[in-house]
Amino acid sequence: MSENHTIRTPEEEAAWLTIVKRQVKSLHFGVVQIVVHDDRIVQIERTEKVRLNEPITGTNSAI
């Protein structure tokens, strides 16, 4: 595996950190994934889970 570190400016790093922090802060239950290609962040994926407080009951509960 080769060591190919890309030099980033402090502004670039701050921008990515801001995006990641915003995604994490707005998430109640779920996952934030950071996708890296060739030592560079290329994508941030967010999956949010919705949890129900009470079980759905009755005959019309099918969604």
Tens of pLDDT, residues 23-50: 999 998 999 999 988 888 889 999 999 8
Task: Give the separation between CA 7 and CA 53, rounded to whole angstroms.
Answer: 47
Please report where in the chains the tokens 């890309």 appear, as a residue.
6
What the block records as the tokens of 47 is: 């999956």
Q: Is the pLDDT of residue 55 over 60?
A: yes
Q: Residue 61 above 70 pLDDT?
A: no
The pLDDT value given to residue 42: 86
